[in-house]
């Protein structure tokens, strides 16, 4: 048992925010008796627009990207079939189940977890709200390419939401298409790459159809979150360096799990990832619970995938080593 629990189950950045971001959040604390200033909200929108390379008018802010997804599902599922992939970001799955009267999920099958274009086009046989996380959580895989997005964007009866929560790790975005595609929305978050999970800043880069319906959802954000986000965007070098390190560690972790005579660690399978986590399939029974008992938290995927799948967030080199040691000790038990 390790002295401190190692948290590798929420895909957070293991490094805390830099000093200039903490300083900004502290400054906001002195004004906690007041709501955030609309002008400051506007400034964050401008900074995010600049960061995303789109005009500010397409930006919608929210306290967490999951809430934005929830609102979109709630608002746009009436009279439309909601089409998702399975597995997917769990709050999306829950919101669809809760709000959508008609639902179709496209099962991503191991070992490749590909989303086939023909399958997707077959699924969109009636007016639909399509939600795809790209890269996908928990497989880490890119599901969409530009030709697929263009083909769907042409469909007048399909509203299309792409969840790009892990954009900074994948480097792939379709945000530039929003201005020309009124029925396309990109959902992003500052929770992950910017080390701001506790601040809960989500945003949409939304086409006209979505803007009309969702732009008034959240007039205010918590002031410390707002200030922290602006400071993080004004100097994003720290974030970029952390992302580079996490990607490097991800590759090392994957390599370590693939050691062994047959290119795997006693039957452990790791799937290539474009995010800050790895999907792992193991033959060790009860692996998530046993790792938890050993002081390492990982995500048990048994609610969405066959038994034996876990999702492991990439942590600091020390945290990843501790996970590897705990996992290897389970393998030889």
Partner 1 sequence: MKKTVGLIVNPVAGMGGSVGLKGTDGEMYEKALALGAEPVTPKRTSDLLAHIEHKGALTWLVAPGKMGERYVAERDVPFSVIEEVGEETSPQDTKRIAEKMVERGVELLIFVGGDGTARDIYDAVDSEVPVVGVPAGVKVFSSAFALSARAAAEMVDAFVEGAEVTEEEVLDIDEEAFREDRLASRLYGYLLVPEVRTSLQPGKAASNVSKSSTESKQEIAAYIVEQMDPETLYLLGPGTTLRAVTDELDLPKTLLGVDAVRAGELVGEDVNESDILSLFERYEKRKIVVTPIGGNGFIFGRGSKQFTPTVIRQVGRENVIVVGTRRKLNDLDCLRVDTGDLALDEALSGHMRVTVGYREEMMVTVRC
Instruction: Please report, for residues 14, 250, 256, 260, 275, the alpha-carbon distance to residue 270 in angstroms, rounded to integers and kept in the order given.
Output: 21, 11, 10, 13, 13
Buried b (16+ CB within 10 A) or exposed e, 92-112: bbebbeebbeeebbbebeeee
Q: Three-state DSSP class for 279?
A: strand
Please report whether residue 124 would count as binding partner 1 according to CB under 8 A. Answer: no
Neighbours of 212 (CB within 10 A): 11
* CB of 106 vs partner 1, minimal distance in Å: 5
Smaller CB distance to partner 1: residue 175 or 310? 310
Candidate list 126, 307, 325, 329; residue touching partner 1; CB under 8 A: 307
Smaller CB distance to partner 1: residue 163 or 177? 163
Residue among 123, 129, 128 nearest 106 (CA): 123
Candidate list 42, 289, 325, 329; residue touching partner 1; CB under 8 A: 289
**Measured torsion, CA atoms of residues 32, 220, 160, 166, in degrees rounded to the nearest 10:** -20
* CB of 138 vs partner 1, minimal distance in Å: 11
Q: How many residues bind partner 1 (CB under 8 A)?
A: 33
Residue among 127, 132, 131 nearest 78 (CA): 127
Q: Using alpha carbons only, what angle is made at residue 173 by residues 170 and 176, rounded to the nearest 5 degrees? A: 160
List the structure tokens of 7: 């948290």
List the structure tokens of 308: 């034996």
Please report whether residue 286 would count as binding partner 1 according to CB under 8 A. Answer: yes
Smaller CB distance to partner 1: residue 182 or 272? 272
* CB of 313 vs partner 1, minimal distance in Å: 12
Tell me which stretch binds partner 1 (CB under 8 A): 21-29, 33-41, 49-57, 281-289. 281-289
Smaller CB distance to partner 1: residue 207 or 315? 315
Please report whether residue 38 would count as binding partner 1 according to CB under 8 A. Answer: no
Q: Which residues bind partner 1 (CB under 8 A)?
A: 9-10, 86, 90, 94, 97-98, 101-107, 109-110, 119, 122-123, 285-286, 288-289, 292, 297, 299-300, 302-307
């Amino acid at each position: 048992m390790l002295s401190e629990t190692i948290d590798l189950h929420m895909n957070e950045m293991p490094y805390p925010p830099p000093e200039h971001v903490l300083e900004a959040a502290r400054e906001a604390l002195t004004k906690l008796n007041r709501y955030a200033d609309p002008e400051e909200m506007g400034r964050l929108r401008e900074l995010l627009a600049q960061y995303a390379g789109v005009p500010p008018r397409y930006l919608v802010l929210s306290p967490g990207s999951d809430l934005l997804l929830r609102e979109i599902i709630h608002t746009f599922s009436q009279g439309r079939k909601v089409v998702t992939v399975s597995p997917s970001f769990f709050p999306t799955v829950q919101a669809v189940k809760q709000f959508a009267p008609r639902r179709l999920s496209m099962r991503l099958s191991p070992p490749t977890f590909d989303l086939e274009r023909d399958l997707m086009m077959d699924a969109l046989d009636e007016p639909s709200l399509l939600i795809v996380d790209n890269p996908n959580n928990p497989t880490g895989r890119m599901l969409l390419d530009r030709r697929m997005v263009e083909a769907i964007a042409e469909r007048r009866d399909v509203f299309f939401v792409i969840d790009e929560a892990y954009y900074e790790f994948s480097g792939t975005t379709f945000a530039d298409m929003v201005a020309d595609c009124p029925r396309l929305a990109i959902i992003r978050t500052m929770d992950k790459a910017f080390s701001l999970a506790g601040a809960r800043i989500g945003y949409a880069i939304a086409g006209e159809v979505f803007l009309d319906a969702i732009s008034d959802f959240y007039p205010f954000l918590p002031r410390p979150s707002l200030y922290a986000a602006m400071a993080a965007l004004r100097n994003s070098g720290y974030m970029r360096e952390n992302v580079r390190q996490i990607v490097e560690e991800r590759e090392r972790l994957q390599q370590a799990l693939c050691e062994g005579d047959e290119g795997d660690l006693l039957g452990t399978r790791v799937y290539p990832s474009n995010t800050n986590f790895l999907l792992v399939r193991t033959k060790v029974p009860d692996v998530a619970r046993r790792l938890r008992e050993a002081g390492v938290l990982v995500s048990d995927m048994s609610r969405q995938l066959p038994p034996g799948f876990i999702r492991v967030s990439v942590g600091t080199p020390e945290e990843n080593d501790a996970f590897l040691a705990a996992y290897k000790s389970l393998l030889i038990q």
